Chains A and B, each alone.
Chain A
Amino acid sequence: MSEQILNARPLLEVQDLKVYFPVYNKSLIRKKIGDVKAVDGVNLIITKGQTFGLVGESGCGKSTLGRAILRLYNETTGRILFDGRDITDLKGRELLRLRRDMQLIFQDPYSSLDPRMTVFDIISEPIKLHEKCGKEELRKRVHELMDVVGLPDSMMTRRPSEFSGGQRQRIGIARAIALKPKLVICDEPVSALDVSIQSQILNLLADLKKEYDLTYLFIAHGLAAVKHISDDIGVMYLGRLVEVSPKSQLYRNPLHPYSQGLISAVPEPDPDLKKEENLLSGEVPSPINPPSGCPFHPRCRFAASCGQRCYTERPELREAEPGHLVACHLFDKEA
């Protein structure tokens, strides 16, 4: 797999991406009183054909990162390179063209489909927005897409309210792949579904990846769903990536104390297995006022023994093993 990464060129490269949402006071005269640092300097490379899993607690900025890559926020600084092209400041027609190549699958299959539209309208919407397409051809293409995601043809004229969560998610997936995008950002696509449906949808995503030659940025809040589908995994904490590594290495040998905590939180189905006690405690600090130094230090079990640096100096993402990056002073060789 590492060989594959070496050979493939990067499809998406994110350089020092920051998304700060301004916070205002509530009086009549608005005054800026701070920033929510939703994404705070993320560097990321996703190669073509890869599935990059992005994991973190809720509120750590993983969804914001995904949406910032899709250019949905104006409050973005840094650089986003897509297919070798800087897309950070694209506007108008150029941005519209970019939309073809990047799509989003939503977490909530209920609010992500317009309740007044039929399945046909929903799936054909992206095609209509980007191509001039005759009625017969449109019908044919929607028919094909429904077939690919496993929806019977007879449902074409129904509305989303008549479908179950899993079926709705299939409609959303059909809509996302309608234009054959290069990159699909999956924003927790299975966390709102039943466990039995989750695996079906994950398998569908895996099949589609092969068939349409897709690249995924797969966002999830737990490591369990990501384990199944990802090649590389990035762990996010408070708007920053704290560990990036191939899947096997991360599960075998998590380096960052936060990743260790996340892995210990995955429930084990074997009752005889002696489980390490929960390594994570406390709450995520406010992204308006992130802790000084390493943002994880208030919850870290090593911070007290590690020395002053954790409290004052922000650790950079560095290679600790080949292909395995971690942002922690424990693995800082220069120290």
Chain B
Amino acid sequence: MKTTKNDRRYRNGHLPWYRKKGVPRLIVGCILVLIVVLMVGVSLFWTPHSPVSGNLADRLVAPFHTGKSGTFYLLGTDPLGRDMTSRIMAGGQVSVLVALLTVALCALLSTFLGVLSGYYRGWVDSVLSMICEINISIPLFLIVIMIIAIFGSSVFVLALCLALNEWVSVFRQTRSKAIVQSNYEYVTAARVMGANNRKIIIHHLIPNIVPTTMVFSTLLVGSTIIAESGLAYLGLGVSKPFPTWGRMISEGQAYMNTEWWVSGIPAICIAILVLGVNLIGDGLRIIWRME
């Protein structure tokens, strides 16, 4: 047995954390996400050019080229002569914010309801499961379109709509995990010791369910960003002229054959973020040894 000084490092699987399977994924994922987040973060204070107004003389300049006005554009310009670099940086704000909000909402909602459902069972479980099945059987995209048409499309409404669309998949996982955990004897032990339902849920069930929630929520980030892009593509995203990645793709589709970068570059950005977050989720899943 190792010395007690190093115990912390050899705990859980008896491997130092950096040698565990899944850690490379986690690191690569973190780097990708960090790049995107840094880029978006910087755009809050500074962008190379204005993301909303452009120079019509420099329409559709290719990446790494200089426009007619003599300005160099790292990622080219769009059909209105706006700098793609600035638009990508600023457009990420909405995409990332919506994705994070949605996933946070999903995680909170599904942990809470999943624990209630899995611990109390009975009618609570029946009602929640029924709501889930209704939720799945109706194409929610239509309802989302309706909600946005009524309430307009602020970041929060968008996040709420998307969360409504996606919480079921996490809820099912947390519920089944809660059922399994509730049947373990340590819950009985807590009850024998005198813990009430609230204490059992807070001290025992939730800590055992949080890893599941985290993994499945991170896996949702990808589909959320894609769904947001889809809404933006349909013109239902956050209002113009402020760019989002999804709307940039939709605006560039007319130029796809000749000027690929107008919709290609935001698509690459979405791909990088989705890949990064999925790698994080996958890495955590492997490290925590979950199915």
| Partner-contacting stretch, out of B133-141, B185-193, B231-239, B253-261 | B185-193
Asked if B207 CB lies within 8 Å of chain A CBs, one says yes
Q: Nearest B residue to A106 by beta-carbon distance? A: B185
Beta-carbon contact of A114 and B193 below 8 Å: no
Give a binary string over B191-209; 1 marks a CB under 8 Å from any A CB, 0 the rest: 1111100010001100110
Are A129 and B192 CB-contacts (below 8 A) given A108-B185, A111-B184, A154-B4? no
Beta-carbon contact of B189 and A106 below 8 Å: yes
Give a binary string over A62-85; 1 marks a CB under 8 Å from any B CB, 0 the rest: 000001001010000000000000
Asked if A326 CB lies within 8 Å of chain B CBs, one says no
Q: Nearest A residue to B191 by beta-carbon distance? A: A72
Asked if A126 CB lies within 8 Å of chain B CBs, one says yes
Give a binary string over A83-124; 1 marks a CB under 8 Å from any B CB, 0 the rest: 000000000000110011011101110011111100000000
Beta-carbon contact of B192 and A72 below 8 Å: yes
Q: Nearest A residue to B10 by beta-carbon distance? A: A162
Beta-carbon contact of A72 and B188 below 8 Å: yes
| CA of A172 to CA of B188, assembled, Å | 12
Beta-carbon contact of A112 and B185 below 8 Å: yes
Which among B188, B192, B203 is the interface contact of A99 at CB below 8 angstroms? B192
Which among B4, B11, B194, B207 is the interface contact of A96 at CB below 8 angstroms? B194
Beta-carbon contact of A104 and B192 below 8 Å: yes
Q: With both chains docked as a complex, state the minimum distance between the C-beta of B210 and any C-beta of chain A, in angstroms.
A: 9
Are A129 and B194 CB-contacts (below 8 A) given A104-B189, A159-B12? yes
Are A111 and B186 CB-contacts (below 8 A) given A116-B207, A129-B199, A162-B11? yes
Q: Which of under 10, 10 to 19, 20 to 34, or 35 or more describes the interface residues of A?
A: 20 to 34
Asked if A140 CB lies within 8 Å of chain B CBs, one says no
Q: Hey, which chain A residues are within 8 Å of B8, CB to CB?
A: 157
- Tell me the B residues contacting A by CB distance below 8 Å: 4, 7-8, 11-12, 184-186, 188-195, 199, 203-204, 207-208
Q: With both chains docked as a complex, state the minimum distance between the C-beta of A187 and any C-beta of chain B, in angstroms.
A: 9
- Tell me the A residues contacting B by CB distance below 8 Å: 67, 70, 72, 95-96, 99-100, 102-104, 106-108, 111-116, 125-126, 129-130, 154, 157-159, 161-162, 172, 175
Q: Hey, which chain B residues are within 8 Å of A115, CB to CB?
A: 208
Q: Hey, which chain B residues are within 8 Å of A102, CB to CB?
A: 192
| CA of A230 to CA of B7, assembled, Å | 40
Q: Hey, which chain A residues are within 8 Å of B192, CB to CB?
A: 70, 72, 99, 102-104
Which among A95, A125, A154, A172 is the interface contact of B190 at CB below 8 angstroms? A125
Q: How many A-B residue pairs have CB under 8 A?
A: 65
Instruction: Pick 12 A–B contacts, CB within 8 A, sort by A.
Output: A72-B188, A95-B194, A106-B189, A113-B186, A113-B189, A116-B208, A125-B195, A125-B203, A129-B193, A159-B12, A162-B12, A175-B189
Beta-carbon contact of A126 and B208 below 8 Å: no
Q: Nearest B residue to A109 by beta-carbon distance? A: B185
Q: With both chains docked as a complex, state the minimum distance between the C-beta of B254 and any C-beta of chain A, in angstroms.
A: 54
Q: Hey, which chain B residues are within 8 Å of A67, CB to CB?
A: 188
The SS class assigned to the B binding surface is helix
| CA of A130 to CA of B194, assembled, Å | 8
5 tightest CB-CB pairs across the interface, nearest first? Answer: A99-B194, A112-B185, A126-B193, A111-B184, A114-B186
| CA of A175 to CA of B189, assembled, Å | 9
Q: Nearest B residue to A98 by beta-carbon distance? A: B194
| CA of A72 to CA of B194, assembled, Å | 11
Q: With both chains docked as a complex, state the minimum distance between the C-beta of B282 and any C-beta of chain A, in angstroms.
A: 22
Q: Hey, which chain B residues are within 8 Å of A108, CB to CB?
A: 185
Q: Nearest A residue to B194 by beta-carbon distance? A: A99
Q: Hey, which chain B residues are within 8 Å of A125, CB to CB?
A: 190, 193, 195, 203
Beta-carbon contact of B189 and A112 below 8 Å: yes
Q: With both chains docked as a complex, state the minimum distance between the C-beta of B280 and any C-beta of chain A, in angstroms.
A: 21
Q: With both chains docked as a complex, state the minimum distance between the C-beta of A66 and any C-beta of chain B, in angstroms.
A: 10
Beta-carbon contact of A114 and B194 below 8 Å: no
Q: Hey, which chain A residues are within 8 Å of B203, CB to CB?
A: 125
Q: With both chains docked as a complex, state the minimum distance between the C-beta of A194 and any C-beta of chain B, in angstroms.
A: 20
Which of A107, A111, A161: most chain B CB closer than 10 A?
A111
Q: Hey, which chain B residues are within 8 Å of A159, CB to CB?
A: 11-12
Q: With both chains docked as a complex, state the minimum distance between the C-beta of A134 and any C-beta of chain B, in angstroms.
A: 20
Q: Nearest B residue to A162 by beta-carbon distance? A: B11
Q: Nearest B residue to A112 by beta-carbon distance? A: B185
Which among A106, A112, A113, A129 is the interface contact of B195 at CB below 8 angstroms? A129
Q: Hey, which chain A residues are within 8 Å of B188, CB to CB?
A: 67, 72, 104, 106, 112
| CA of A199 to CA of B109, assembled, Å | 49
| CA of A115 to CA of B184, assembled, Å | 11
Q: Hey, which chain A residues are within 8 Å of B195, CB to CB?
A: 125, 129
| CA of A115 to CA of B189, assembled, Å | 13
Starting from the known contacts A99-B192, A125-B195, 10 additional A-B residue pairs (CB-CB under 8 Å) come to: A95-B194, A99-B193, A102-B192, A103-B193, A112-B184, A113-B189, A114-B204, A116-B207, A154-B4, A161-B12
| CA of A134 to CA of B40, assembled, Å | 47
Q: Nearest A residue to B186 by beta-carbon distance? A: A114
Which among A95, A114, A130 is the interface contact of B208 at CB below 8 angstroms? A114
Q: Nearest B residue to A130 by beta-carbon distance? A: B194
Q: Hey, which chain A residues are within 8 Å of B4, CB to CB?
A: 154
Q: Nearest B residue to A178 by beta-carbon distance? A: B193
Q: Hey, which chain B residues are within 8 Å of A175, CB to CB?
A: 189, 193
Q: With both chains docked as a complex, state the minimum distance between the C-beta of A180 and any C-beta of chain B, in angstroms.
A: 13
Q: With both chains docked as a complex, state the minimum distance between the C-beta of A214 and any C-beta of chain B, in angstroms.
A: 15
| CA of A116 to CA of B211, assembled, Å | 11
Q: Hey, which chain B residues are within 8 Å of A99, CB to CB?
A: 192-194
Beta-carbon contact of A158 and B11 below 8 Å: yes
Q: Hey, which chain A residues are within 8 Å of B11, CB to CB?
A: 158-159, 162
Q: With both chains docked as a complex, state the minimum distance between the C-beta of A122 and any C-beta of chain B, in angstroms.
A: 8
| CA of A67 to CA of B204, assembled, Å | 20
| CA of A172 to CA of B207, assembled, Å | 20
